[in-house]
Structure 1
């Protein structure tokens, strides 16, 4: 279930801050162009410093709106759409101002804008395969160095010419060079991590075609069929707890065969996946434990889900599922981990996230795979279906290790 959902509209405090940032970006750009570089225009030093300070404050509002959205449980679709646009608008506006002042070469904003377009396109393509490329620190460092370099360059032309202004400008250009390198590097890194999904065949296992029907068909095993599942794989009723335990037994058997340990990171299932595994006698040699990350704060502080993911796409997302699974492995000391995050109901739905939507992630230290399902039924049925699906992902991943050895 989505943590902190309160039935709010789009005009939350976080979204108001984001909208204010969007409105103030052209105002700031007009002010900066009017003031001009003080060392050239002979304008007021105070006005030039004010331009730099205002830019720094606008940059800081990115952290503020993210904090407000998460702390108040008010992550909205509108905010997830507008926030990244506001960030990129501010950076591009600042680079164009510096370009107008002949402080940067035209290729700098071109590289920055091209990278953002390409990575945004890659995200859409990769998302269709169900694979999530976890956010790396390269992007964070790229953003930080870009913002600081812009502030430094703005200050350098606001101060009277002297050793301090020269030193600040040199620092600004150095950081800007680093930011450009990180911009290109992070883009190449994202492309490299996305290569499997980008060049996969149409039958790639992460594609949306591999849904609940395929999942229930695969877990049944040779000659078996789960209660409530039609022969063609259509779900007619939720599995029972005994079904969950039966699938869990197969997971444990497969993990033992390849010498793997497993763990879980659970939100909407509240520990039921681990419960099914530990309901099987002798499971302690395979199951390392579980992280019950029902709260957003636990997802962030214990599993390492980034604030950017939680603030931009929310806890019910492929990005969050991927980072939950990746964070569970070191937290639990296991070889393979599975994550579950979704909206079990009866409330919590959003326009693009209905009740029953569950995202799953599985990580083995080499690859992280995600996929989603929209399960029918009431809260209990959604949770049981999610448990079986998560167990099947563990079974499939462990079997993959056997096949690749």
Structure 2
């Protein structure tokens, strides 16, 4: 009948988990942040931070973090479809490698008092008096600890949830697969400050320069096409050629990493003393940094409920999180889902591109004109 050892255990030290740990540690809660990987580490996507993401960081008191790490201002979006190209101005954005960002967010949480265990795999276990158990494995050592609230921010592939918890996982049929790599290339067509997006029949490829000067490639491909053509490198080369973009020969020899299916949803995004954040809750094909915005905004939105959950737990807290998550992030994901549908159909894609070229204001919902004040207005109550 001992009380939980921690107030909060956060599974996953990506942007959602690390920012939530930072905010909760600022409230003087006992926070344990756990991730199975060592840091710094590279991720397939998430290099672009749009206004939503930057506004969330500002609300968290980390407004100078991205600039201090050398984030590259993003000024333009360069689109290519069937040899036709167009450029749109970006109102707000930065490019920053996930290796630097994720490490900095984790260190910021530690500076506020959180404990960070890297190289440790965590699994949510059964309930205990006043909390929820978590099983930790590091090397050959296994231990069980507990917290009043557990935040699961483990991404698409490894939720760390037992089947008995009652959270269902649904992967969208025919969902595309993500893939990415980074290369050191002097390809002149891909300058700093621009997101380049090549759209093809079987997927799309986004390219952007990071603070180190490397070119980051993040793509989404039809699974069957990826298998048929023999991997991500030839698939990316085909999309670039189809869109009329400059080839990137270095990508053929690069180490590509792949993701699970991109469009998936776990529902409900909560259970007894458990809340799901970021990609672990739901994900669709994102554009121009949208996924990072969802992760960071969700971390801020969860804080008030975690604070309430330090006392007696109620099903109403679970319902509140499902409702809040749907209001804040579900609407943004529906926009991306609609755009993803259009990109799968060449005729719709051509019409959409022509309409945006004639009336650029139509692209506003996807270019994220959010800033600090805009994010503050989105949140249901001020984040501590």
TM-score by length of 1: 0.26
Larger Rg: 1
Q: Which has the higher helix share?
A: 1
